[in-house]
Amino acid sequence: MERAKQTTDDSSSGKIFGNYTRNLYSVFKKYDNNDRIQSSNLRKAFIDLDLYPSHSQIQEMVHCAVEYGSPCDADHVTFGEFSVLVDELQHYYEIGASPALPKSVIKNKSAGFVARRTRKESLANFQVFLGGSCGCSQQPSRWRSETAIPFLKKENITFYNPQVNTWRPELVELEDRAKNLAALQFFMIDNNTRSVVAVCEIAYLVGCGRQIIVVFSNFNSEVEEVAMEKTSEREREDIMRARNVLMDIIERNGIPVFQDLESALHCAAIHLKQGVKVQDLTVDQGALPVKHGHVLVGEALL
């Protein structure tokens, strides 16, 4: 790896050799904290270099740095480690590493099926299905009514809201039809999401190749109540584990994960009005893109 060799420098004496290394060092210093980058800033540094690793890949990079004996704290990397990781990612980008096909693959739909679905979609009166967190009866989620729905109305985007005051059995079929016909699935996973049903549903939709936007709010594992119900430490760990697995599934498919509802809604409007695939949304548009989220990273350090 020619670029990796170029990273040899004498930064302690202020000498940097080569334009490539100098560029890496300038990005490193932008996020530098006592000659190291904290893991929370590592992804930003990669983005500055037009590299887009996933959340899981960042964690794996830091883990590999610790395994090989990094002099840093457990959640930091040095300039040398950063340079090796950049070179590793750039190598994967250059060879265009493609994910291996799973043993069970969803078959492509026939042309007749696609035509029938297109006709049905043209008759549908909505573009977005608002799925995910509904909260509980004592404390229903307000992200739809207070933020999402006003925004969609302002943008003249039609939607289906499955959150109702009085639930009836016949709504099951109506909701299922709405979900199947909507051009975009929009899901919120917040601190009121206790069940893993929504997590499994999102994973299924991603596997089906649907266009989907998922917003994760930060889950505080120290909070003992979720949706106004007491939870055990084991359950909170399970919730956190399920979220991390789902995030990995989403990003492995090149789909950005959102942490800000407003940014996610803005990107939804771009997708629907400009025809930009969710996977192709950019940083400037408010997304956090992922490229080659399926590849193993960090092994170059070992």
| Strand residue runs (E) in 52-183 | 76-77, 128-132, 159-160
Mutual angle of helices 39-48 and 19-30, in 10-degree steps: 140
Q: 147 — phi, psi (to 5°)?
A: -125, -55
Beta bridge pairs of residue 185: 129, 212
Residues 179-207 have a mean pLDDT of 90
Residue range 111-280, CATH number: 3.40.50.450
How far is 78 from 139, CA to CA, in rounded Å? 46
Q: 262 — phi, psi (to 5°)?
A: -65, -45
The pTM of the full predicted model, rounded to 2 decimals, is: 0.83
Q: Kindly give the residue spans of alpha helices, DSSP state H, lying in 68-147.
A: 79-95, 111-123, 143
How far is 192 from 231, CA to CA, in rounded Å? 12
Q: Which two tokens stand for residue 275?
A: 């025809």
How far is 292 from 272, CA to CA, in rounded Å? 25
What is the predicted pLDDT for the residue at 103?
Answer: 53
Report pLDDT digits (tens) over 205-239: 999 999 999 999 876 666 666 666 788 888 888 88
How far is 9 from 259, CA to CA, in rounded Å? 37
- Percent of the chain's residues with pLDDT above 90: 53
How far is 115 from 119, CA to CA, in rounded Å? 6
**What does the DSSP 8-state code read for residue 174?**
H
Give Cβ neighbours of residue 274 (< 8 Å, ≥ 6 apart): none
pLDDT confidence tier of residue 18, bands split at 50, 70 and 90: confident
How far is 233 from 231, CA to CA, in rounded Å? 7
Same fold flag, 2-96 and 111-280: no
Residue 145 has pLDDT above 50, yes or no: yes
Torsion of CA 232, 56, 284, 127, to 10 degrees: -60
Report pLDDT digits (tens) over 27-56: 999 999 888 999 999 999 999 999 999 999
pLDDT confidence tier of residue 8, bands split at 50, 70 and 90: very low
Residue ranges per structural domain of the chain: 2-96, 111-280
For the chain, how many helices (H) and strands (E)? Answer: 12, 9
User: Which has the closest alpha carbon to 185: 165, 211, 149?
Assistant: 211
Taking CA atoms, 216 is separated from 212, 220, 246, 248, 260, in Å, by 13, 12, 10, 12, 8
Q: Which two tokens stand for residue 164?
A: 């109702």
Query: Strand 76-77 relative to strand 37-38: parallel, antiparallel, unpaired?
Result: antiparallel
Q: Which single residue is written with the structure tokens 């989220």?
A: 293
Q: Cβ(16)–Cβ(9) under 8 Å?
A: yes
User: What superfamily would CATH give domain 2-96?
Assistant: EF-hand (1.10.238.10)
Backbone angle region of 64, left / alpha / beta, with phi > 0 → left and psi within -120 to 50 → alpha: alpha
pLDDT confidence tier of residue 6, bands split at 50, 70 and 90: very low
Beta-carbon count within 10 A of 94 CB = 8
The SS3 call for residue 23 is helix
